[in-house]
Structure 1
Amino acid sequence: MSNNGDVVLTIEERKVYDRQIRLWGYDGQNKLRSLNVLLIGMQGLGAEIAKNLILSGVNSITLKDHTSVSILDRCSQFLIPRDSEERNRAKASLNAAQKLNPNVKVKADTTPIEENVDSFITLFDVVIATECSSSTYKRLSEVCRKANVMIFIADVYGLFGYFYQDVNFTHSLYGEVFPNNDQIDSITVTKKLPQIYYLTSGLLKFKSDSNRKPNPDTSEEDIEELKSIIHLQMNHSSDQESTDVDIFEEYYGELFCELSPTTSIIGAMVSQTAINTVMNKPVSNYNVFFYDHVKHEGTFYLL
């Protein structure tokens, strides 16, 4: 550290981050080196984001997950060894994550985020949340906005994924973009929305209602339930161009587990967007990104 409290890279760190310093400069790497990140959720997407940020050279990253390792983690969670005896996902990921870059402080936290949202968030510069409920995302969005903490919220469903960002604190809060839809019959959408929005909103409501994502073991029942949710949501839209639920037929069979191709794409987008924001190059005119695997494209929207 320098006398004024700014981070100063050591000679060893300059060697490690030489290529990055050439890309975004010494001052940019210094900004990263002072960054403290909270990453919530250590399934496949969380592992991908953790890898990217640890390799980039942030100061610290806290892996927060209170859940246990499951067989579904084998689809894309590469930080957890197959022979690991540690059952908590954050702790099981800790050793491999730390080996990626000894210069970064990597910590594990097993307390559910719902138990310490208000007291915990202000310790960080950036919060990245995955694998949470819609109500938790809504609360995190509100708390981070109040504390001026940048937040990214992301999820992957099979070959589909999205993320939301609040980095300049002027656009809609997460709960305004994706309402919980507890009273879906009373909701009428009055603004034009991209069709892929309704798939995302339907998946979020499915998770909120079922307390889980669609599962391969119950795929037929889950697809029918998801179709019903999306049909109701689209019927309450005033955008007549977006009322054909059959547009998602190609998607339904590919919304199970967190698959590596999509965790790589969404994880890279979240990580790079967070890094760019820290470098004062935010994607400031948009707040939601959708990856559409059928069209093989990702698009930012302002919702």
Structure 2
Amino acid sequence: MSSSNVNAENSSVQNAVITEDEAAIYDRQIRLWGLEAQQRMLNSKILMVGMRGLSNEVCKNLVLAGIGSLTILDDQKVTQEDLGAQFFLSADDIGKNRAVASRDRVRNLNPRVVVTADSDKLAKKPEEFFNQFDVICLTDCDLDTLIHVNEICRKFDKKFYAASAMGLFGYIFCDLNYHAYVIETKEDKSDKEEPDVKRIKRETQYVSLETSLSKNDWAQIKFKKLKKISEVLWAIPIIWKFKQNECRPPNPDDTSNDENSDFMKLRSISNEYLKSINVEPSLFTNVFLKQLLQNVSAEISPVCAIVGGILAQDILKVLSQKGPPINNFFVFNGLDCSGIVYQVEPGKKAIS
């Protein structure tokens, strides 16, 4: 589907007003974050790139929450492997385009949301294509694509997310450029009186993915604190660099100590990368590296649900402008069920 078709379908979303029926449907949400916030969500336009297990969860939560429109972009065809962690597809869809095959089932969750399928290649999209959206979310993309789209988002002042689920591990990166939001605090009075609600406006400036990855001043952080950082944070750029070098994902079965194995290639990349940012390579252990390699290509439904749920929640938080969003990495480790936010930015000492 061309960008002009997407624009035509999304035109009805602009300046939409909540009806009485919608107010009744979204009553609990309106009570939670207010009518104005729900109105912003109703007028929002989201682009989701990639249709796999993680993005299934994000799309489900966004559509049920009542966003204005969702465009799903994916140029790949459905395979047997897609049926494991994806619940918008069936065996009858094998051979069809993933976005087109998923569209109607996504739309059925909430017919009030405009859901569009786009089967074009992301690389063929002109910069102007992205300007029509409020939030652009890329899942399971390579580093060069992420950096390229991130820079386009900054050019048009659009909110940018990148995310992936890799077996037991997952990450979210968020670049909102500049974002203003409100924090609400309640000041208790007497037992008989309603508490006063105080609204505090906050502003946050974000950095791009490329700037985040340029942080090389980790040596300023004490070694004891560095040891506590989740190894998943180091794993993300290491996997990206492997894919850049080899033009393919790592082979989960290639775990031998042979110098040409994918395991040893990852070890070499990790040593070089961690030294370049002034982090002791021993903090990224061989035990974790093998676990990462064995998980990197897998989709595990519970992990997709956790990371996808957090990602959708953060996008809704950005749209509603209520509460602080992720700044700027969230990493999930299914081995110990930990999810941690790290602010990875040159010159910042506070990392979590």
CA gap of 1:232–1:245, structure 2 versus 1, over 3 A, is farther
Counterpart-to-counterpart distance in 2, 1:262 and 1:269: 11
Q: Cα offset for 1:104?
A: 0.3
TM-score, normalising length from structure 2? 0.76
Structure 2 equivalent of residue 137 of structure 1: 146
TM-score of the superposition, structure 1-length normalised? Answer: 0.87
Show structure 1 runs of 5+ residues with no match. 180-187
Structure 1 distance, partners of 2:314, 2:326, is 13
Partners of 2:173 and 2:328 in 1: CA distance: 6
| Correspondence for 1:278 among 307, 313, 319 | 319
State the Cα deviation string for residues 123-169 of structure 1 (Å, max 9, x = none). 10111111222111001111101111011111111110001111143
For 2:124, the equivalent position in structure 1 comes to 115
- Pick closer, same or farther for the CA change 1:296–1:282 going to 2, 3 Å: same
Q: Name whichever of 214-223 and 13-22 sits farther off.
A: 214-223
Match of 1:254 in 2: 295
1:97 paired to 2:133: no
Q: 1:289 aligns with which of 313, 321, 330?
A: 330
Unaligned ranges ≥5, structure 2: 1-13, 179-204, 220-225, 345-352
- State the Cα distance separating 1:65 from its structure 2 match: 0.5
Secondary structure of 2:81's counterpart equals helix
> Any conservation in 1 of the 2:274–2:281 contact (CA below 8 Å)?
no
The answer to whether the 8 A contact 1:67-1:88 is kept is yes
| Higher mean displacement: 257-266 or 157-166 | 257-266
Distance 2:99 2:164 in 1: 17
Contact 1:190 1:238 in 2 (8 A): yes
1:225 maps to 265
Name the count of aligned residue pairs: 291
Question: How far apart are 1:190 and its partner, in Å?
Answer: 3.2
Q: What is the CA distance between 1:11 and its match in structure 2?
A: 2.1
Q: 2: CA distance between counterparts of 1:225 and 1:258?
A: 23
Aligned to 1:62: 71
Larger Rg: 2
Distance 1:77 1:139 in 2: 27
Distance 1:47 1:96 in 2: 11
| Residues 100-249 of structure 1: pairs in structure 2 closer than 5 A | 100-169=109-178, 170-178=205-213, 189-192=216-219, 194=229, 195-216=231-252, 221-240=261-280, 243-246=283-286, 248-249=288-289
Contact 1:234 1:245 in 2 (8 A): no
SS of the residue corresponding to residue 258 of structure 1 reads coil
Q: Aligned Cα RMSD in Å?
A: 2.4
Which residue identity lines up with residue 276 of structure 1 in the other structure?
K
Q: Structure 2 counterpart of 1:7, which letter?
A: A
- Partners of 1:299 and 1:267 lie apart in 2 by 15
